Amino acid sequence: MITEFETAQPSIPYAELVLPDRVNSRIYTDPAIFEDEMEKIWEKDWLYVGHDSEVANRGDYVARRMGRQPVVLARGMDGVVRVLMNRCPHRGNTVCLEDSGNVDHFRCAYHGWMFNTDGSPKGVPYSAGYGEGFDKMDFAMTVVPRMEVHRGFVFASLSPTGQDLKAKLGRTYDYLDRFADMSPEGEIDLSAGALKTKVHGNWKMVYENVADGYHPPFLHRSVFAASSRDGLVIGDAYGDNSLIVTRDLDNGHIMLDFTETNRITGGAVFDVGGPVAPEAVEAYRAAVRARMGEEAGEQLLADGLSNVGICPNLGMLYQDVRVIEPVSVNETVIYNFPALLKGAPRDINRSRMYQEVRAYGPGGSVGPDDHEIYERNQIGFQAKLNNWVVLRRGLDRQYRDDDGTLVGNASDEVTMRGFWRHYLSVMSGS
């Protein structure tokens, strides 16, 4: 039923706000646009929810949000991982009392309704009060309509219809393989938990920044200065002679591609989070080759990791798995999980852990400068005169690669344009 309120809403002129080389600030500040995004993106698209290593044992759960909606990622006693709405079907209370845990069953604190960790009903107190026709089996926790898993990454959609996950992931499907294959067992481990940062900025800036190769030498100069003192030369890494490229991966997915520079510098960097014994690196590389085969293993190790954004809420930056949770038009929570490698020598995972902790979260050396930018941007967006955000960098030098992706220099805004093209098509329904 269409209410009077809904018909009175003026439609949002997305095609006037999102142009091929710029977007209007209003796209980041208008609460009506945020509500529209909740409906058209966050309640329809595939979202990354969590990783199966976070719920390794039967009865394990983690409470999450899909957009603003509370869900729980839980492993049932049958060993199967599910995404359930974190809501009691009786009166609507959340059924998980903690952010994570291991339980035999969920029990709603309000009236004691109980559910198995697969969401099925377990018990309703004083059920005779519901009369003769009552069947508790009609009152299960709601399972989200669609869920698919790739390499342990659990994606779900609140919409019963739409493309399958493989089609949605598109060009990023193989990158999830690459990411997981870095583990000697082919599995990553996200059970270390996440750094959590609250920023007063719109979620789309957080996503765009995953593959912004223009800002690092400027915004993150404190890190570059320290690295130069430590003998690492990265000051010109993003300049015009850089081998790093930006890639528009379609479907809103984006990449800051370090593959070519990784091949020169020797692939994955392990020593940023503290020294790693050369024997540990050798043992690790040998283990990867043993699983993947000599040639494929060597190729993988040489290519290393890059920065990839899987639209709308997942970023993968070297060892970092970044989840974006929109709270309101000007508030976002950022989760930074270190991806540890199952079966890797302790030194390797220690380095990945400390690299993560020292770079990201509220107390890191990299993340806080980004967070500051989101907040200052959000303030700057309030300026209404000449309120355009310019995204034309590299427009005249981008080219189509052999694999069909649109490519730009390290510092070019190819990735932002790719994201916004996808955004416009989703939001305007065209």
Partner 1 sequence: MAGVELQGDSLRALELERSVVDFIEEEARILDDHQFEVWEELWEPDGVYWLPQDIKHDDPEKKVSLVYDDRAAITRRVDRLSGRLAFALQPAAEVSRMTGNVRIAGFADDLVVAQSRFMMVVYRREHPVVYGGRVEHHLRERPGQGYGMVFKRVDLVGAGASFENFTVVF
Binding interface with partner 1 (CB under 8 A): 99, 192-200, 219, 221-223, 225-226, 229, 274, 333, 336-338, 346, 349-350, 353-354, 356-358, 361-363, 365, 368-369, 371-373
Distance CA 252, CA 417 (A): 9
Our CB check for partner 1 shows the closer of 247 and 350 to be 350
Our CB check for partner 1 shows the closer of 337 and 381 to be 337
Nearest Cα residue to 415 out of 255, 233, 224, 203: 255
Our CB check for partner 1 shows the closer of 59 and 193 to be 193
Q: Is 147 helix (H, G, I), strand (E, B) or coil?
A: strand
Provide, rounded to whole angstroms, the least separation between the CB of residue 412 and partner 1: 22
Distance CA 370, CA 426 (A): 27
Provide, rounded to whole angstroms, the least separation between the CB of residue 247 and partner 1: 27
Distance CA 70, CA 66 (A): 7
CB 73 within 8 A of CB 81: yes
Q: 30-65: buried (b, 16+ CB within 10 Å) or exposed (e) per residue?
A: beebbebbeeebbbbbbbbbbbbbbbeebbbbbbbb
Provide, rounded to whole angstroms, the least separation between the CB of residue 224 and partner 1: 8
CB 224 within 8 A of CB 371: no
Our CB check for partner 1 shows the closer of 91 and 221 to be 221
Provide, rounded to whole angstroms, the least separation between the CB of residue 330 and partner 1: 13
Our CB check for partner 1 shows the closer of 274 and 293 to be 274
Distance CA 406, CA 393 (A): 14
Our CB check for partner 1 shows the closer of 45 and 54 to be 54
Between the two ends of the chain, the Cα-to-Cα distance in Å is 24
CB 184 within 8 A of CB 341: yes
Provide, rounded to whole angstroms, the least separation between the CB of residue 163 and partner 1: 32
Provide, rounded to whole angstroms, the least separation between the CB of residue 192 and partner 1: 5
Tokens 């309703």 label which residue? 124
In degrees and rounded to multiples of 5, residue 284 shows phi and psi of: -65, -50
CB 351 within 8 A of CB 387: no
Provide, rounded to whole angstroms, the least separation between the CB of residue 207 and partner 1: 18
For residue 373, how many C-alpha atoms fall within 13 Å in the half-sphere facing its CB? Answer: 17
For residue 244, how many C-alpha atoms fall within 13 Å in the half-sphere facing its CB? Answer: 25
Report the chain's C-alpha Rg in angstroms.
23
Provide, rounded to whole angstroms, the least separation between the CB of residue 179 and partner 1: 18
Our CB check for partner 1 shows the closer of 155 and 374 to be 374
Nearest Cα residue to 309 out of 241, 425, 212: 212
Our CB check for partner 1 shows the closer of 175 and 207 to be 207
Encoding tokens for residue 129? 């009060």
Provide, rounded to whole angstroms, the least separation between the CB of residue 226 and partner 1: 5
Distance CA 35, CA 329 (A): 8
Distance CA 405, CA 82 (A): 34
Our CB check for partner 1 shows the closer of 306 and 349 to be 349
